[in-house]
Structure 1
Amino acid sequence: MPSDYRERPCVLLVEDAAPLAAMYQQYLKKLPVDVDHAATLVNAKKCILDRQPQLILLDLKLPDGNGTDLLRWLREEQRSSPVVILTAHSSVDVAVEMMQLGASDFIEKPVTASRLITTIRNLLEQSRLQQVIHDYEKNCVRDYYEGFVGSSLPMQAVYRTVDAAATSKASVFITGESGTGKEVCAEAIHRQSKRSDKPFIVLNCGAIPQDLMESEIFGHIKGAFTGAMNDRKGAAILADGGTLFLDEIGEMPMALQTKLLRFVQTGRFCKVGSNKEETVDIRFICATNRDPMKAIEEGVFREDLYYRLYVIPINLPPLRDRTEDIVAIACHFLKQFAEEEEKSFSSLDQEVRQLLCQYAWPGNVRQLQNVLRNMVVLYNDTVVRKEYLPAFFHEISQCGMSDSSEGARIQSALGAEAAVKPDKKVWPTECVLTEEVQPLSVVEREVIEHTLTLCDGNIPKAAALLEINPSTIYRKKQQWQVIDTGEQVDLLET
């Protein structure tokens, strides 16, 4: 139970008639509550400020005013205690007015014990549950976390895993599409760890020529190879005592993976051109945007190295799987870039919000970040408007219009019947049912691929015609890529 919720809740009874007040108090002895009594509005306000009751029973007719005055005052004071109106002067209009002012229930006099007890019990339970939810959201649901923005359930799971991983010495293996924030995640783990005051060294294996990668990791001595004019420290020594983040580790050559495996196991290594072993204390965090198991099957990633590094896995969800975070992320970057560029932008137009949430974001948060920076640099306004968005957003907003020439062309291609009844769904000619019934997955793929062909590969347009989310098509194409060995899928195609 929340710390600010009493074991015996306080119920404030605001009633000027002493006999009725005594009767109600007698009723409430059957409940585990403390009852305070106030006969006037002045005393009621004082009691609310002093005692902060969990529930208020309010008579409408009082000596120094009306119960509606107290309801308005409660709203102004932002008090959330449920209020039950007790009155003999009932009507539908009065009840509606009370509810609009914030009353939780309305009981007509004479009030029976069972009705009053049931109402109070139910409202107190609702208040308790609301307090539990409030405490949970306050303590567990985080909108911002170590460089991340987002309160969605997938991100809450990521935050909890990072919390747990930070206190451990075990290696962490981060997976996720490009632009999901793998380096942000790695740095968050380092900042919360006991090594936070030590170096955090980042090495992008995909950006280093393969013949130089060993030197970048382990360093080299003078004369080790052509151009090695001096001794050079590698990332291993630079990260000693801290964290070494190997981004895109799947791009590392197999021969070097063998040396890395020994380094991870023992903490010992030799610089390029040297036979002298050196020892360091490093926490390893690795990341890849590829499927590591598929890389193992293809023979480009060592299985023993994978299991040595894959101790604490963290998978970062793509932006299309946490659409509820998109507006918050966009507003965050809008504020940041507006300050950097000294622009006046402060909010997003409602239509812009909708379009941002409808887009599949194949480039994830990085792509959203670039879109926001582009608009802030090119325009100056207080509100981001639809016309400021890149061209592909305008295609999304127009592709669902049935009277557009593009839509008419596609509907015509889908079948002659579509020209007569454009609102009728028509199967592509390749998918017309015959005596041979095909699996639904096969028919589904044929329909999607046929529509993509008619849309010249434009996924948002195809999704609009099929009345599905663009992310569904991206996900299906990824699944087909796994099935069709060697098939290439361009996820940046829009």
Structure 2
Amino acid sequence: MSKPILYIVEDSIAAGAMYKAYFEKKGYEVSHFVDGFSAMSAIKNKVPDVIIQDVCLPDVSGIDVLKFAKKIDKKTEVVVITSNSSIDVAVTAMREGAYDFIEKPFENEILLSAVQSVLEQSISSGTQTVSTNLPGAKVKSDIDFIGDSISVQTVKRILNSAARSKASVFVTGESGTGKEVCAEYLHDCSNRHDKSFVAINCAAIPADLFESEFFGHVKGAFSGAISDRKGAVEMANGGTLFLDELCEMALPLQAKLLRFLQTGLYSRVGSSDVVSSDVRVVCATNRNPQKEVADGRFREDLYYRLNVIPVNLPPLREREEDIIILAHFFLQEKCKSANKLFKGFSKNTEKAFLSYDWPGNIRELQNVIENCVVMNEGDTVELDMLPQFKREALKSNVSTAKKSLLSEIEAELTDEIIPLWQVEKEAIESAVHICNGNIPLAAVKLGISASTLYRKIKNWEELA
């Protein structure tokens, strides 16, 4: 059986040589390219089993190399690496077909695991015949993100990569976007899945009890401590500790958390014994952590200690293609628990769901559907089954959108004849604005392909 062929496209000679030597020791046939054109020429002559692709190159973007490789052979798998932590870069890479996305700096084992996962997938699908020592298959999580949107799939890929290490993950996003589900998914995908997942809501615990909740206490440590008690750190030993609403934590407690993260050591309240705990920390907040640092409410050193792998969960209004999928999932879930027979939603209900802004995100959608199921009977969820306040909000939202569209049309209906291209340009710009800058969504609303819309916008920018 032949060795798996690996191309490394990395403009840093030192880094590329290090990766090459590492993978050659692992039994791979490796070629290193320092620019995009050299890599594309090699890909055209011989398609490798896997490509490790840096985004920033001296001649072309790594995304262009990714597109070229996929054009030559759609089965070619690409692991993208970059020092740019922007979620937009990850979304673009995943949209163009990247298998994985890894942010620098990273351990060689993480990169190896990503490459081996590619080969595992190829072997299981019958498209790969190379022989190599592959690690055990990644555990399939019982906790999953529901949705087909690019942003959700990108988040899942980032979490799958992060699951291979112990690196801290910092999840940000509006309330109700599923930050705890994100942490549970990461735990279930990691090699810690058979240990405890312990969640602490930092905003719900009084400051004077937080240290006890976190590190535990011994009997007699304070009034009411009638017995020894384990803290979250001890209960999560070997597993994952999820710290929700982290930015609500008081500054003195932040210092104690930082000390624990640096050493892995702690003492129960009322005890001088020092013990250790091995935990994977995942934290979350609906605030802007960088602003909290700038305003002095959050320690900068703790932020950088925790923000190793940043993950930002998109609000539901930016995941329109997922709304109905989530609605059906919650409907089945709630009908099962309430012993109801609803099978789906009327077209008007679905339209209303898609028109609403969902300020409470997924949690709000879940609550609305639970209310419908509990308070009504039938096969189909009709619009008049929605809670009254919600129904009025949905109608108002639809009405506002219609009025906005009518006013734009009326503004264009003047005696002056406007050139067709200008009308088209204004209509497209208006659609993009209404969709909050989401060009693929605007394309769907306009009834054209996203590629056509991108091309038109690019042409106008070149003419400007």
Question: Which TM bucket (shorter chain)?
Answer: 0.5 to 0.7
Supply the RMSD in Å over aligned alpha carbons. Answer: 3.5
Distance 1:373 1:271 in 2: 42
Distance 1:286 1:302 in 2: 14
- Could you tell me which of 383, 386, 394 is aligned with 2:383? 386
The change in CA–CA distance for 1:342 and 1:304 in structure 2 (over 3 A counts) is same
Distance 1:370 1:360 in 2: 15
Residue in 2 that maps onto 1:193: 190
- Could you tell me which of 395, 398, 401 is aligned with 1:397? 395
Residue in 2 that maps onto 1:375: 372
**One-letter identity of the residue aligned with 1:215:** S
Distance 2:99 2:216 in 1: 43
Q: What is the SS of the residue equivalent to 1:206?
A: coil
Residue in 2 that maps onto 1:26: none
Distance 1:151 1:399 in 2: 25
Cα offset, 1:150, TM superposition: 0.4
State how 1:92-491 maps to structure 2 within 5 Å. Answer: 132=74, 146-391=143-388, 392-397=390-395, 468=434
The change in CA–CA distance for 1:303 and 1:343 in structure 2 (over 3 A counts) is same
Cα offset, 1:347, TM superposition: 0.8
**One-letter identity of the residue aligned with 1:150:** G
Cα offset, 1:147, TM superposition: 2.3
The change in CA–CA distance for 1:422 and 1:291 in structure 2 (over 3 A counts) is closer
Cα offset, 1:159, TM superposition: 0.7
The change in CA–CA distance for 1:145 and 1:271 in structure 2 (over 3 A counts) is closer
Distance 2:98 2:261 in 1: 37
Cα offset, 1:132, TM superposition: 4.8
Distance 1:395 1:201 in 2: 37
Cα offset, 1:261, TM superposition: 0.3
Distance 1:395 1:358 in 2: 10
The change in CA–CA distance for 1:204 and 1:400 in structure 2 (over 3 A counts) is closer
Cα offset, 1:158, TM superposition: 0.3
Gap regions ≥5 residues in structure 2: 1-69, 78-93, 101-140, 412-432, 439-464
**One-letter identity of the residue aligned with 2:375:** L
Q: What is the SS of the residue equivalent to 1:394?
A: helix
| Structure label with greater radius of gyration | 1
Distance 2:215 2:209 in 1: 10
Distance 1:377 1:470 in 2: 34
Distance 1:148 1:237 in 2: 29
The change in CA–CA distance for 1:231 and 1:395 in structure 2 (over 3 A counts) is closer
**One-letter identity of the residue aligned with 2:392:** H
Distance 1:277 1:154 in 2: 43
The change in CA–CA distance for 1:342 and 1:226 in structure 2 (over 3 A counts) is same
Distance 1:145 1:361 in 2: 26
Distance 1:183 1:398 in 2: 32
**One-letter identity of the residue aligned with 1:396:** L
Distance 1:176 1:219 in 2: 30
Kept in 2: contact 1:145–1:159 (CA 8 A)? no
Residue in 2 that maps onto 1:453: none
Kept in 2: contact 1:358–1:469 (CA 8 A)? no
Cα offset, 1:272, TM superposition: 1.2
Distance 2:321 2:408 in 1: 33
The change in CA–CA distance for 1:329 and 1:340 in structure 2 (over 3 A counts) is same
Kept in 2: contact 1:320–1:471 (CA 8 A)? no
Would you identify which runs of 4 or more consecutive aligned residues in structure 1 move more than 2 Å? 135-141, 144-147, 390-402, 421-425, 467-472
Kept in 1: contact 2:142–2:188 (CA 8 A)? no
Distance 1:401 1:306 in 2: 44
Distance 2:98 2:436 in 1: 35
Q: What is the SS of the residue equivalent to 2:311?
A: strand
Kept in 2: contact 1:361–1:367 (CA 8 A)? yes
How many matched pairs? 290
Distance 1:185 1:398 in 2: 33
The change in CA–CA distance for 1:352 and 1:471 in structure 2 (over 3 A counts) is farther
Kept in 2: contact 1:221–1:274 (CA 8 A)? yes
Residue in 2 that maps onto 1:125: none
Distance 1:202 1:235 in 2: 8
Cα offset, 1:396, TM superposition: 3.1
Distance 1:244 1:334 in 2: 31
Kept in 2: contact 1:223–1:230 (CA 8 A)? yes
Deviations 1:90-149 (Å, cap 9, x if unpaired)? Answer: xxxxxxxxxxxxxxxxxxxxxxxxxxxxxxxxxxxxxx98x959x9999979xx983210
Cα offset, 1:470, TM superposition: 9.0
Kept in 1: contact 2:197–2:236 (CA 8 A)? yes
